[in-house]
Structure 1
Amino acid sequence: MLRAAQEIAGVLGEDAVTYDADVLEHHGHSDWSTSNSPGRAVAVVYPRSTEDVSAIARICNRRNVPMVPFGAGSSVEGNFSQPHSGICIDFAHMDKIIAFHPDDMDVVVQPGVNWVDLNSHIASSGLFAPMDPSPTATVGGMVSTNCSGTNAFRYGTMKDWVLNLTVVLADGTVIKTRRRPRKTSAGYNLTSLFVGAEGTLGIVTEVTLKLAPIPEDTDVAVAAFPTIRAAAAAAAALIRSGIPLAALEIMDERQMAILNANGSPAVRSRRWAEQPTLFIKFSGTTDAVRSDAARATSLLQQQQPHSIGDEGERSGRKGSNVGNGAVLHFARTKQEEHDLWAARKESLFAMTSMRPPGYAIWSTDVAVPISRLADMVDWSKAECGRLGLFASVVGHVGDGNFHVAMLYDPRDGEQAAAIARCVRRMMDRALEMDGTVSGEHAIGIGKKECLRDELGDQTIGVMRALKRAVDPKWVMNPGKVFD
């Protein structure tokens, strides 16, 4: 492995390779991740082009050295951990927008491009990339985990926005999965094969993304409910109504209490009702937003939620009344709209800020069919509550996906084992409901056995055959997805 790193330095330059212990630790362990391995890479290398990555692959493949791609380090299932050591490939220097085609509504980028920076760069064109994962996420990692986020209810997941990929295979071969048109029926769908593969089949070095028009108008509403089941049931009713919401999120009463205690000043400027709460985003033309908001208000009044915000407050959309017994609080200004949605986006960061010293977060997610959403959320909340530890539910209920986060002391073997059993029961319950063990975090090293339960040995066998076909030496991010 060290000889491979030295050979890479000879090709890319000494400044493209580091053996610094702190850098290796940063690239091998994550406080965000539920799964970390004790192993560390022997070196981190920094390519600047597809040609550099191809050279790295040729060297590592010839020497049977594992290659582990690294994007922003924000994944949570140990996706970039190094259980077999090897060479970690960091794409921090491959952060260029290669080509922007506004008339075709697409953009070609390197994998190290941050999605927030990308949208800022192209905003003047009236277009944007609609995925909305962690604000730190980069496009390469988003492709590798088939990310989604709060906008998935309206726009789908990453697989729906990738037109083509340039991929370096294990032996250094460079392929492009297809050309740039929005539709094609030419050959196998290799693009989708690599999206969500977590770097186990090849290393993505260029991505062509479809873009969407920035909506003319948006609005945000929030509503609190007496129970988590009531909130989840209301979410399911909104989904089935056909109202074209931009996003539909849920946060339980513990998350709302955290916002009151640890939110940013803008979020804490209001006193949040500490009850299970739906966050609803509308987007489209101004008339469409107004119409959709009125329909949602009517539907949620039938669900009988409580109002949210200051006690006794009943606010209409941007200050206009929506009738007696209105159940939603709508943002009255664009700043308030931003602040309301910030409460949802800050949830994980606000929770981590309250961790006792030495404590860790175990975060996991599942997704189930919409008809089982209320049952699954309610069951998970009750199951986590039996642990006697901090546990909270938050997630993208618009597409049946939600997260559970639990704080625990990893030095306490009994606590860690109890949480592991709880998470496993949650996975089993989701599968009983014909759901999935991973809605958006991928598999990594944390959910390999759960994937076997979901898909079975025969399906995993097909995946292994594909893996052997393109990576016969098993050097591409080994130890992830399946063994």
Structure 2
Amino acid sequence: MPTQKSTLPLSEAPKPTYNHTPENIEDLCQNLAEQLFTNDTTICFSKSKTRHSFAQPHESPAAVFRPRTTEEVSAIAKACHERNIAITSYGGGTSLGGALAATRGGICIDFQEMNKIIQVHEDDLDIVVQPNVGWVELNQYLDEKNLFFPPDPAPGAKIGGMIAMGCSGTNAYRYGTMKDWVLSLTLVLADGTIVKTRNRPRKSSAGYDLTNLIIGSEGTLALVTEAVLKLTALPKNLHVGLAVFETMAEGVSVAIAIMKSGTVLEAIELMDAAGTHSVNTSKLVPALTLLEKPTLFLKFSNPSPQTVTEQIALVRSICDQHHSLSFEASGEKERIDTLWAARKCLGNSFMSMKKDETDVFIHTDACVPLSNLARLVAESEALIAGTGWFCCNMAHAGDGNTHTAIVAPLADKAAVEELLSKIQRLALELEGTITGEHGVGLKLRDLLVEEVGKEGVDVMRGIKGALDPKGLLNPDKIIRLESDV
């Protein structure tokens, strides 16, 4: 009998066997005829590729199902498991790094019909939602209750995708990432089994932490059909600030000085001159024209108006010490919305820098200890200088997470990826990570081996094999199932 191991090396992993013949897919659809589905090729491909996430034409599902309940998701998964059909899932379509690509074909579960707020427990500060509730819409609902859900990735992101990617956003410095705001999940496993990870208490030591195992697993271990989310009080006396500098290094120095002062802001974001140029060019914020220089975007909040005034005064002083070209802070709602919209539209503004519709958008998502942030930013700037492509550096400066984004011709895609790999390897040299909030997807799988080691990846493959032995759920993401795929 072969020795049982604690890990599953790629060389010993069973080869997945899919049956995606037209006959098998048609049989599946007939078996699930009572459910909402389509096999329109245009719709199918739209669930695999977006403006921010690349996929080849053949990386498309053969059918898209739109379940309405956990039980319907379970029925789809069970039928696919019986027929060896791969499953990808789709929510808001904002994820990056090829996470949506149906590399093996199969079918897609589109959660658009599962968009209901099920129950809010105001006294417990938690809420139960289906996976396709958007965080923007959720906060609009909570606003009148004086409650707030902090994670804030791209504006179109949905809760299920945010859980799958382990996302964060501009509020992570103050409030933490998605894993800090999920109490419990209802899951459908690859074979259709329904699992609830825990109840609603704020803490639990009851067995393995299944909730956090699923967060950040990119749809490879289970399908999220319901979530219990933590809430907090709506920030009070909110102000937004803008500080402009001649160099990114000055902006980084200010961010670190703010944190070392002991003053905790709501957010500290840094955008380079190219980023401000893209915002201006896009005209996504028509009421604002940014000075095209490195810019810090700051949020202030506290129950005490006096404390907010003191925070602003301290930050203004720090900015002055680091030679800021200008400083503004406002508590007027219209101005707050305008200034912060310039930061939140940055990802979409990159699309305005395309010279051709076929141009590609590729990015990094490196994160390093704060003391190494200045070096990561400086060396990233040096690497992208003079390439001729549109290049932008921005940082969630409060937690050391940076994004280098490039828009380039499709013919240059391989060269762009090679350059960005150098930045991600630099992050590893600086004791950081290749992805702080966007996930591994397809392109970072080999770099993941460099970060956690072959043994670490083999442990992940073992977990994948235990929960999804046929490799049906979002195959090829995070870890390789076969050496040549």
The answer to whether the superposition gives a TM-score over 0.5 is yes
Cα distance, 1:288 vs. partner?
A: 2.4
Shift of 1:341: 1.1
Cα deviation digits, residues 373-427 of structure 1 (max 9, x gap)? 01101111111113221101123111101111111110x2xx2232111111011
* Secondary structure in 2 matching 1:125: coil
Q: Does 1:83 align with 2:83?
A: no
- What's 1:245 paired with? 265
- Pair 79,342 (structure 1): closer, same or farther in 2 beyond 3 Å: same
How far apart in 2 are the matches of 1:300 and 1:396? 17
Contact 2:350 2:407 in 1 (8 A): no
* Deviations 1:18-75, CA, capped at 9 Å, x for gaps: 1101101101112212565742111111111110111111111111111111111111
Match of 1:294 in 2: 313
In the aligned structure 2, how far is the partner of 1:396 from the partner of 1:34? 24
Q: Distance in 1 between matches of 2:91 and 2:395?
A: 23
| 2:388 equivalent in structure 1 | 388
Give the AA of the match of 1:205.
Answer: T
Q: 2:359 aligns to what?
A: 359
Output the amino acid matched with 1:447. L
1:414-471 deviation line (CA, Å, top 9, x unaligned): x223211111101110000000000111011121111111110111111111111111
Partner of 2:7: none
Segments of structure 2 that go 5 or more residues without pairing to the other structure are 1-19, 481-485
Secondary structure at 2:241 match in 1: strand
How far did residue 284 of structure 1 move? 1.9
Residues 75 and 452 (structure 1), Cα distance of their counterparts in 2 relative to 1, 3 Å cut: same
Residue number in structure 1 paired with 2:463: 466
Equivalent in the alignment of 1:49: 69
Does residue 159 of structure 1 match 2:141?
no
Distance 1:3 1:284 in 2: 61
| Paired position in structure 2 for 1:231 | 251
Percentage of matched positions with identical amino acids = 41
Match of 1:398, SS state, is coil
Letter aligned with residue 230 of structure 2? K
TM-score, normalization by structure 2: 0.91
Residue of structure 2 in register with 1:316 after alignment:
none
The reply on whether 1:457 has 2:476 as its aligned counterpart is: no
Q: Is the CA contact 1:234–1:300 (under 8 Å) kept in the aligned structure 2? A: yes
Question: Aligned to 1:276, which of 282, 286, 294?
Answer: 294
2:51 aligned with 1:31: yes
Quote how far apart the aligned CAs of 1:264 are.
3.3
| TM-score, scaled to structure 1 | 0.91
Query: Which region of structure 1 is more displaced relative to structure 2, 444-453 or 253-262?
Result: 253-262
2:197 is equivalent to residue 177 of structure 1:
yes
Most deviating of 28-37 and 18-27: 28-37
SS at match of 2:143: helix
| 1:338-349 correspondence to structure 2 within 5 Å | 338-349=337-348
Does 2:440 correspond to 1:420? no
Report how far residue 262 of structure 1 moved.
2.8
Please provide the CA RMSD for this pair: 1.6
Q: Which residue in 2 is equivalent to 1:305?
A: 324
> What letter is aligned with 1:149?
G
| 1:373 is the counterpart of 2:392 | no
- Residue deviations 1:209-251, cap 9 Å, x none? 0001101211011111111112122222222222111011111
| Residue aligned with 1:453, SS | helix
Measure the CA separation in 2 of the matches of 1:80 and 1:241: 42
Alpha-carbon distance in 2 for matches of 1:436, 1:121: 35
Distance 2:310 2:339 in 1: 20
